[in-house]
Amino acid sequence: IIVDLDGTLLNSEKKIPLENRRMIARILRKGLKFSIFTGRNFHSARKYVKEINVDFPMVFQNGALIMKPFSGEILRISPLKEEVARKIINVARKRNIFFILFTSFFEVRDMVIERRYKGPFEDYLAANSWRLILSDDVLKYVRDSVAEVALIGKEEGILEVVRDVEREHLGEFTGVKNTVRDGEVFYEFFGPDSTKAKALEFLLEHFGTTLDRVAFIGDSYNDLSLMEIVGIPIAMGNSPEDVKNKAKFVTLSNDEAGVAYAIDKILKGEWG
Examine the domain organization and report whether 65 and 94 are in the same domain: no
Over residues 236-271, the pLDDT tens digits come to 999 999 999 999 999 999 999 999 999 999 999 999
CA distances in angstroms from 155 to 32, 150, 181, 271, listed in the order given: 39, 13, 11, 35
Examine the domain organization and report whether 162 and 218 are in the same domain: no
Examine the domain organization and report whether 183 and 86 are in the same domain: yes
Higher per-residue pLDDT: 216 or 55: 216
Give residue 183's pLDDT.
96
Residue 55 domain boundaries: 2-77+194-267
Give residue 58's pLDDT.
97
Give residue 215's pLDDT.
98
Examine the domain organization and report whether 98 and 162 are in the same domain: yes
Does the pLDDT of residue 150 top 90, yes or no? yes
Per the structure, how many domains does the chain have? 2
Quote the mean pLDDT of the chain.
97
Whole-angstrom Cα distance, residue 175 to residue 163?
11
Examine the domain organization and report whether 64 and 96 are in the same domain: no
Examine the domain organization and report whether 179 and 113 are in the same domain: yes
Over residues 91-115, the pLDDT tens digits come to 999 999 999 999 999 999 999 999 9
**Strand 184-190 to 148-153 pairing:** antiparallel
Examine the domain organization and report whether 12 and 100 are in the same domain: no
Mean of pLDDT values over 50-57: 92
Confidence of residue 207 (pLDDT cuts 50, 70, 90): confident
Going edge to edge, which strands form the sheet with 215-218? 35-36, 2-3, 215-218, 232-235, 249-250
CATH number of residue 22's parent domain: 3.40.50.1000
Over residues 62-77, the pLDDT tens digits come to 999 999 999 999 999 9
Examine the domain organization and report whether 12 and 69 are in the same domain: yes
Give residue 205's pLDDT.
86
CATH number of residue 175's parent domain: 3.30.1240.10
Mean of pLDDT values over 140-169: 98
Mean of pLDDT values over 15-24: 98
Mean of pLDDT values over 205-231: 95
Examine the domain organization and report whether 170 and 261 are in the same domain: no
Does the pLDDT of residue 88 top 90, yes or no? yes
Phi first, then psi, for residue 113 (nearest 5°) are -130, 160
Phi first, then psi, for residue 131 (nearest 5°) are -100, -10
Instruction: Please give the share of the chain, as a percent, with pLDDT higher than 70.
Output: 100
- Count of Cβ atoms closer than 10 Å to residue 183 Cβ: 10
Give residue 129's pLDDT.
97
Examine the domain organization and report whether 7 and 91 are in the same domain: no
Give residue 218's pLDDT.
99
**Does residue 14 form part of some domain?**
yes
Q: Where are the beta strands (DSSP E) in 11-94?
A: 35-36, 58-60, 65-67, 74-77, 80-81
**Does this model's pTM top 0.85?**
yes
Three-state SS sequence of 136-201? CCHHHHCCCEECEEEEEECHHHHHHHHHHHHHHHCCCCEEEEEEEECCEEEEEEECCCCCHHHHHH
